[in-house]
Structure 1
Amino acid sequence: MVKIDWDRIGKGVARENERMIWRPYGAPIVLDLEHSSFHDAPISVPWNIPETLAVSVAITGAFFRRSQNPNQPYTPEEIRNSARECLEAGASTVHIHVRDDEGYNVLSLDRFEQVIAPLKKDYPDLSVDGCLVPALDGEWAEMKRVLATGLLDGAPINTTTTYIGDSLFSKPAPVMIEKVRIILENGGIPEIAVYTDADVSNADRFLIKSGLIKGPAFWLILPALPGCSPMNNPRQMVEGLMRTVTTIRDVDPDGHIMVCAAGRASMYVATLAAAMGLHIRVGMEDTYWLWPHRDDRIQSNLQTFQLGAKLGEVLGRRVATRQEYTDMLKSCAQ
C-alpha cells in the first residue's frame, strides 16, 4: 500500500498560506476568449465549418430485408412515400434504390421512374442520386437507360474491392472509369463512394489523376459495415473517420464529404461527422440500428431524418434546403 507523507503535505499547505498561486497580469480582465492584454491579434476566431448541414436520407438500399427490420420499404410506393415524408420534413435530398417484387435490389428504369418522377414533379428544386450497380446480365444496358433519362442528378462510383458482409464486392478499374464517363456524358455528378482509405487511393489513381473527375468532387464515406473501415468501438470510429477524411483532403482539399450513418456506428458516426463540419446521410439503407450500444431498430426514414436535423440544431448548423444541396452538387460539375 502507498504511504502518503501527510506531515510534509501539511507543512507545504502552511507554507503556501492555504492559497493557490495567482498573478492576474491581465487585470482587470481575468479571462478573454478572443484577445490578450499584451497585443491586439485575435486569439480565438470562428471555426471554418459550413453553416448548413446537408442531410440526405437513403430510403432502402440493396441488402437489408424485413427479417432484419420489419419496417424496411420494398415497393415503389413504399419507397416513394417514405421519401416524400422526409422531404416534407425538410430533408436536403434522398438517395434511391429500388427493389423487385421479392424485395431484392433491382436495376429497373420503370421502378426508378415510379419513385423519382412524382417526387421531382412535386419538388422541382430536388436533386436525387441513386445507386446503379450493374451486377447481373443486362443491368449495364439498363443503367445507361436510367442515366439517359436525367432522372438522377448524381450516382455513386464505388472505387473498391472488398467483402461487404459475406459477399465480394469489386469494381474493376475499366468498369469504374467507363461508368464515370457515362454519368458525365448524361449530365450527372459522379459521387466517389469509399469504404476504406484504400478506396480513396483508388479514386485518386484512376479517376482524379486521369483528369476524369476534377475537384472539388463529391465524396461518400461508408464505414462500419462488415468489410468496411471497422468501427467496433468509439476509438476505432474516431480514428477511422479521421484517417479517411484526411486522406480525402490530401487529394481533394475542397471536396464535399458526406458520411453515412452505417452499421453499429449508426447515428454516432453521423454525430462525429456533423461536428467535424461534414455532411451526413441517414436512413434505412446502411443500417437497421439507431445506436451502437443498443439493438433498437429504425422505425422509419423520417425518424432518422429528425435525428439528423436535431444534430444540426445542437451543433448550430441549419439543415440545407433542397436548393442549397442542389447548388452544392452542381459545384462539382466537371
Structure 2
Amino acid sequence: MNKDVVITCAITGDDRKVKNNPKCPVTPEEIANSAIEAARAGAAIVHIHVRDPETGDFSPETKYYREVVKRIRESDVNPVINLTAGMGGYMCLNDDGIESGLGEGTDFVSQRTRMKHIIELYEEGVYAPEIATLDCGSLNFGNENRTYISPPGYLRQGLEIARDLGVRIELEMFDTGNLWHCLEMHREGLIKDPMMSQICTNIPWGMPMNMALQSSLISMLPQNSFWSMFAIGRMQMPMVAGAVLLGGNVRVGLEDNLYLSRGVYATNAELVEKARSIIENMGATVRGADYARERLAL
C-alpha cells in the first residue's frame, strides 16, 4: 500500500462528451479555473487538454494552452502542470478501407505536430509545462472503425523531442504491450529515471480493469518508478482504492468520468475531494505539488 499518494486531476478530455455535462470546462478560463479548484481540493498534478471555445471540440492550438498555463501560474496555487501531447492520432476508416479515402474524423499527423504546443511553449520560455504525456501505443476506440495510432517510431521521436526540450514525460499505457515497449525504450536510455507511468484501464478496447492484471504489470516496472492508475466511468473511484492498495498514485477528473454519483454531474474539485476522502480513510496521506516535484526530480 502507498502511504504517500499523489492525485492527478485530468481536467477535460479530447472527445465530445463535454456536451453531456454542463459542468465540464470548455474555454481556457474555465479550464484554468477548474484546474485551480482541483488543486485547492488536493490535486498535486493537473493534466490538461484544451478545447475550441466556440465549438467545445478539442483543439491543438498553442494559444489556448498558453492561456491556461498562464492563468494557473498566476493563481494562488502551484500544481504541477501536465499537458497532453497526444492530439492528432486518430485514423477513421470506411468499410472499404482507404479505397474511397480516409473516414471522417481522421486527424493523423506527425509526432512533431502533435507536440507543437509543447515545443512552442518551451521555445518561448515562459509558460512551458513540467510534464507532457505520450500515449504509448495504438488502440481501437469504440465499435466502429476508429483507431488511435501511436507507432513505435513516433514514440521514440516524442521521447527524443522531450529529451531535447528537457520536459518530463508521462507514459500513458493502455494495454500490456505498451509497457513492454516502454521498458525497451527505458533500457535504450530514452526514458530517464524515475520512469513516470500512467496505467489506463477500462477503456474499450484496451486494458480491462483487473487487479491481477494490473498487479502483474506493476511488478515489471523499473525500481523507483512513479506510477499512477485510473479507470473510466463508474469504476473511477474503486480504482482509487485499488491503485493505493497496489502501491501507486491515482488519477481522477472529468476526462475519465462525468459523474459524482449515479445521475449527479461532477466538477473536477468534487472528484478530487471524493478521491481524497477514500485515500485518507484508507490511512494514507495525500501529498502536494512540492512532494510530486521532488519525487519526479522536476
Same fold, TM-score > 0.5, yes or no: yes
Q: Which residue is 1:28 aligned to?
A: none
Q: Contact 1:61/1:286 (CA < 8 Å) preserved in 2?
A: yes
1:70 pairs with 2:47 = no
Q: Which structure would you say has the larger Rg?
A: 1
- Cα distance in 2 for partners of 1:274, 1:114 equals 33
Q: Which residue is 1:107 aligned to?
A: 60
More strand by share: 2
1:228 pairs with 2:228 = no
- Cα distance in 2 for partners of 1:153, 1:241 equals 27
Distance apart, 1:306 and its partner CA: 0.4
1:213 pairs with 2:191 = yes
Tell me the secondary structure at the aligned position of residue 73 of structure 2: helix
Letter in 1 for 2:187: K
- Cα distance in 2 for partners of 1:329, 1:70 equals 34
For structure 2, which runs of at least 5 residues remain unmatched after alignment? 89-106
- Cα distance in 1 for partners of 2:122, 2:238 equals 34
Matches within 5 A, 1:1-334: 49-100=1-52, 101-123=54-76, 125-135=78-88, 136=107, 139-148=114-123, 149=125, 151-165=128-142, 166=144, 167-205=146-184, 207-231=185-209, 237-246=210-219, 250-290=220-260, 295-330=262-297
Distance apart, 1:289 and its partner CA: 4.0
Tell me the secondary structure at the aligned position of residue 219 of structure 1: strand
Distance apart, 1:288 and its partner CA: 2.3
Q: Contact 1:181/1:212 (CA < 8 Å) preserved in 2?
A: yes
- Cα distance in 1 for partners of 2:223, 2:152 equals 24
What percent identity do the matched residue pairs reach?
22
Residue correspondences, number: 271
Sort the Cα spacing of 1:273 and 1:327 in 2 relative to 1 into closer, same or farther, 3 A.
Answer: same
Q: Contact 1:298/1:304 (CA < 8 Å) preserved in 2?
A: no
**Looking at both structures, which has the greater relative contact order when contacts are Cα pairs under 8 Å and sequence separation is at least 6?**
2
Distance apart, 1:123 and its partner CA: 4.8
For structure 1, which runs of at least 5 residues remain unmatched after alignment? 1-48, 232-236
Letter in 1 for 2:43: A
TM-score normalised over the length of structure 1: 0.75
Q: RMSD across aligned C-alpha pairs, in angstroms?
A: 2.1
